Amino acid sequence: MDTYYAPLSGLIPEGFSEPAQAGPYGMVPRKWEVSLFDWAELGSKHKLHIPYTVGDMRLKSCNLELAIAAESIEDAQGKIAPFHVMMYARGFHPFSVQFISSHSVNEYAGICSRKSSYGTDLLPEGLRVGITSDTASVEIWGAPYSSGSSIRREALNRSITPNLFVQVADDVEKWTVLRDRYPVCLFLERVLTSSPVVSDVGQSLLHVWTGLESIFPKVQSEVSFRLALYLAQLQSPLGDRQDFFQRAKRSYGDRSKVAHGGAIKAKGGVDPWMEAWIILTHTVCAILERRSVPTEEELIQELLVAADASG
């Protein structure tokens, strides 16, 4: 089992004096800058599948690395997406995975200067001991998928603590079981990672609703009402079904407006994209809470049982 590292852009570490570990995942705070000379050394002496100038540019905005214990690079790539979407389910701002490497940024920082005793003496004390081109081979691959956000959403969280990280890792374990059982969960992963990257807000909202509609493929008539009703009932273990029903119905109206060539805009201070995004992420949370993806028929049965009980 090897460890791979994925630098993350758009997140702020809080309370990480040391790396945190939870199952196959670790969260590593960045300690050191990697100079252009370090990148040139990596580009000439190591295995880079991206230009070293691209790596230099992408790493500048990264304060954290996701560490993944995996059997291979393919295994590591497959483990990143579920962690990514579970962060979104916890209310985190869309962030990006910049690339994947065989070593941590804290290991290859200073690699060029460590070639000689003169260069080593010029480094900060914490960087003077570490890997060199003679003792290690650093390999860097491109990002497994496009991610990030075209627009900053102030209402979403950017700061991650060790406790939150552990909770997300626990969510990933539950989600992986669901993903193996329900193919729609894999589709939701793709929607969650790709929607924020779409620069046109209306098209991004439409993409979000593609994910929500995929949960209930049998809905062909009275779509707005029935989708909102099913989403509200799906949400029932977590909160107010009536409020969620109204929000989902309004958001579907925004989706329909975009689909028919209309423009959407904020009403009463409510961002239409944010509403659709929250409906999607809360739906993922509800699926996690239920440990299942109920069918339309199962949700109707729940509603009928609840109505009989209240009567």
- Please say if the pLDDT value at position 19 is more than 70: yes
pLDDT in tens, 35-90: 999 999 999 999 999 999 999 999 999 999 999 999 999 999 999 999 999 999 99
Residue 202 in tokens = 């209306």
Q: Please report, as a single letter, which amino acid is at residue 178.
A: L
259 membership: H or E segment, kind and range: helix 241-259
In terms of Cα–Cα distance, which of 98, 117, 113, 96 is closest to 39?
113
Residue 172 in tokens = 């990933």
- Please say if the pLDDT value at position 309 is more than 70: no
Q: How many other β-carbons are positioned within 10 Å of the β-carbon of residue 195?
A: 24
Q: How many CA atoms lie within 13 A of 65 on its CB side?
A: 27
In terms of Cα–Cα distance, which of 242, 224, 251, 220 is closest to 303?
242
- Provide the CA 234 distance to its chain's centre, in angstroms: 22
pLDDT in tens, 104-147: 999 999 999 999 888 888 889 889 999 999 999 999 999 999 99
Q: How many CA atoms lie within 13 A of 72 on its CB side?
A: 2
- The chain-wide mean pLDDT, for the chain, equals 93
Measured CA to CA, the distance from residue 110 to residue 87 in angstroms comes to: 31
Q: What is the pLDDT averaged over residues 183-202?
A: 95
Given this model, what pLDDT does residue 289 score?
Answer: 95
Measured CA to CA, the distance from residue 191 to residue 280 in angstroms comes to: 10
Give, as one character, the DSSP assignment of residue 4. E
- Please say if the pLDDT value at position 311 is more than 80: no
Given this model, what pLDDT does residue 148 score?
Answer: 92
13-17, 183-187, 256-260, range with greatest mean pLDDT: 183-187
Residue 1 in tokens = 């089992």
What pTM did the predictor assign?
0.92
Q: How many CA atoms lie within 13 A of 250 on its CB side?
A: 18
Are 230 and 216 in contact, with CB atoms under 8 Å apart? yes
Measured CA to CA, the distance from residue 79 to residue 242 in angstroms comes to: 36
Measured CA to CA, the distance from residue 81 to residue 191 in angstroms comes to: 11
Measured CA to CA, the distance from residue 115 to residue 98 in angstroms comes to: 27
Residue 261 zone, left/alpha/beta (φ > 0; ψ -120 to 50; rest) = left
Q: What is the pLDDT averaged over residues 15-37?
A: 95
Measured CA to CA, the distance from residue 185 to residue 225 in angstroms comes to: 23
Measured CA to CA, the distance from residue 233 to residue 135 in angstroms comes to: 58
Q: What is the pLDDT averaged over residues 263-288?
A: 91
pLDDT band at 303 (very low <50, low <70, confident <90, very high): confident
